[in-house]
Structure 1
């Protein structure tokens, strides 16, 4: 046998060094036989003796297979096979629909188709709602597009049939005469469409039910100018409280307005109980009646009756004494003797007479008398110019619904005062929209 390689005993043999180590190989035998002539190698070679080297052995082809080291034992091969069995095998992925029957696949296909049709119907619905909102904004001159909600499903079949079940419209902040309507909402039913699906020219509304909100916040901003506030009182009354500047003086304002229907399409206000308080000195009620005008309050009249100097100044003016209803003899005694004056002013009847005198009329004839009582002449002049119609117009709450087209009907059903404002129910029918 050949000696192992000097470096390592287990290194694989080099196929290119093997022919060099052969002492006598087939090539040398072939050359020797060729030189000796034919018949030289007819005799078979002598068998090798026991214990001799491999120089006289038969040549075998070299093994060029790459060896990885020592030969694996049976135990190693068994462990490798067991590890191979424990390793998970990669299974071929199968489609989840492959195991379903044909009927189930058909049902899934129908559901997918229905989902796509529903999405298309919703897209057409949103497009129609947005288009209707833009047209309403342009036709009504609104600052913002209203909210349009078309009910019913599916939408496309309704359009193809030329009808809509129900359409709800909400319009915020609509200008109406002197005030703004906080919200106008209406629901139209039985709508017939005029035109084809791609060329809608208009529609006719069979029934309409809506609501109009007139907010107190808007009234405070538009009518009160941040100085007068409106609040609800009862089912049909609105109270106005605040201040009103007159000739540089802030007078306390109090007024009550009754809300009522004005015809089939409008509401109006009847303002009553209106007064302006000049501190605790006097009260101004605009109007031409005897109880209206500028009058002393009960407290100020009682204080004036106790001041002898001011009473004598009033009694010294014949027109004032006449307005007070004091006879001339009583006036002369009061001006001559304090005892007679005390008897005249000590009774509650005299204070009541002072409260009945219209100081606006007295200021026109004797402005110096009111100046002595503590009134500003500029304030008296401003109050004389402040008429009842002017104040009523400043506190008037009202609006009218637009006139419907010929053949249509639009009317108010109910007017009610609530906490947040005035709510008005609206009903109509036979209304035409568009061309």
Structure 2
């Protein structure tokens, strides 16, 4: 019999049919962030390309500007060499960046020019360095510059001791600074086959607005330890025995008698004739005469050049070369001063003014400050 209440039955798990439809993916809020971040980075390569392009363009413009500067500096150096008749092209440095806008505007902020080895009166100037400000260019365009106008210029001139010592080295003379306005001259000077020690002091001063003047003082030439020559006509100048040689003369009987045999020398010494005659006969009297302290001082005051003219035979007794004394008589103060002069004048510019403002002696040479206005280069 069939039960009135059927018993529910449960299917076996293995009897359930398999659903092959995949489950929908689980969505989260991160998905939107990833999409937005991906959109931001997708635009970044274009920005990088733009920046890189700008940097490359700026680099090319900078290189072009610097190339234009180098070209202009080279052309300016050649032009200055030709128009100023220089032996070597100067160094030209154009300041300011960028350069091309200045060239188009026909105005340069500043131009520095360094000219080596400019000819002076006796030596060369080691360097002339000048800076021109607010330079106005003359021409129809950037590529056709014919000249320049310089409203204001300032610079320095160096008269180098190294150049002077090298160029005047034939006389083995050296120049060194001895103060703000003084130069010491030391060395040897060949005269009639003898190397005489030279000493002199040069005072440097400005001569107007265009020149440098030098005054030579304290000039002396030492002939070993025997005598000293000071060019000039004063009583203290001329050729005189040194203290050591005058003292040796007082001790050497033969030389002393030879000197006392010259009447002009006796008068210059201020010795009475009776005393001289007694000294010529007696060694004791001679020693008493030459042993006085004033005898050495009086002997040092004798001008040997005058003595040589009147009594040339006496020179051998004193150990002096007659040819040397003859050469010294021709080496006058003006001649010797001219050989040691450091004076020079600035060249006169074709237009405008060029002035000296300050002159001083430095460690490396004589430095001069220069100023100019209204100068022009070119037609």
Give the TM-score normalised by structure 2: 0.85
1:21-40 superposed matches below 5 A: none
Closer/same/farther in 2, CA of residues 98 and 343 from structure 1, 3 Å limit: same
Aligned counterpart, 1:414:
358
Partners of 1:221 and 1:147 in 2: CA distance: 24
Aligned counterpart, 1:396:
341
> Which deviations, in whole Å up to 9, do the C-alpha atoms of 1:135-156 show, x marking residues without a partner?
1111223232211111111111
1:339-378 superposed matches below 5 A: 339-378=284-323
Partners of 2:162 and 2:58 in 1: CA distance: 49
1:253-264 superposed matches below 5 A: 253-264=198-209
1:198 aligns to what SS in structure 2? coil
Aligned counterpart, 2:212:
267
Q: Cα distance, 1:109 vs. partner? A: 3.4
CA contact under 8 A between 1:186 and 1:210: conserved in structure 2? yes
1:430 aligns to what SS in structure 2? strand
Q: Cα distance, 1:398 vs. partner? A: 1.9
Q: Cα distance, 1:182 vs. partner? A: 0.8
Closer/same/farther in 2, CA of residues 167 and 98 from structure 1, 3 Å limit: farther
> Which deviations, in whole Å up to 9, do the C-alpha atoms of 1:111-162 show, x marking residues without a partner?
3333322222222111111100111111223232211111111111111112
For these two proteins, the number of residue pairs brought into alignment is 338
Query: Residue 181 in 1 paired to residue 125 in 2?
Result: yes
Aligned counterpart, 1:244:
189
1:149 to 90, 93, 111: 93
Aligned counterpart, 2:113:
169
Q: Cα distance, 1:221 vs. partner? A: 1.6
Partners of 2:172 and 2:76 in 1: CA distance: 40
Could you tell me which runs of 5 or more consecutive residues in structure 1 were left unpaired when the two chains were aligned: 1-96
Partners of 2:49 and 2:316 in 1: CA distance: 101
Partners of 2:327 and 2:96 in 1: CA distance: 62
Aligned counterpart, 1:120:
64
Q: Cα distance, 1:226 vs. partner? A: 5.9
Partners of 1:106 and 1:378 in 2: CA distance: 90
Q: Cα distance, 1:396 vs. partner? A: 0.9
Aligned counterpart, 1:425:
369
Query: Residue 311 in 1 paired to residue 259 in 2?
Result: no
1:142 aligns to what SS in structure 2? coil
Partners of 1:403 and 1:261 in 2: CA distance: 16
Cα RMSD between the aligned structures?
1.8
Say which is worse superposed, 187-196 or 349-358, in terms of deviation: 187-196
CA contact under 8 A between 1:229 and 1:242: conserved in structure 2? yes
2:363 aligns to what SS in structure 1? coil
> Which deviations, in whole Å up to 9, do the C-alpha atoms of 1:276-324 show, x marking residues without a partner?
1111111111111111111000011011012222222211221111122
2:137 to 193, 196, 199: 193
1:132 to 61, 76, 85: 76
Partners of 1:287 and 1:278 in 2: CA distance: 17
Closer/same/farther in 2, CA of residues 292 and 109 from structure 1, 3 Å limit: same
Partners of 1:134 and 1:98 in 2: CA distance: 56
Q: Cα distance, 1:107 vs. partner? A: 4.1
Partners of 2:225 and 2:68 in 1: CA distance: 68
Aligned counterpart, 2:12:
none
1:109 to 32, 46, 53: 53
Closer/same/farther in 2, CA of residues 101 and 248 from structure 1, 3 Å limit: closer
2:170 aligns to what SS in structure 1? coil
CA contact under 8 A between 1:223 and 1:394: conserved in structure 2? no
> Which deviations, in whole Å up to 9, do the C-alpha atoms of 1:13-71 show, x marking residues without a partner?
xxxxxxxxxxxxxxxxxxxxxxxxxxxxxxxxxxxxxxxxxxxxxxxxxxxxxxxxxxx
Partners of 2:274 and 2:42 in 1: CA distance: 125
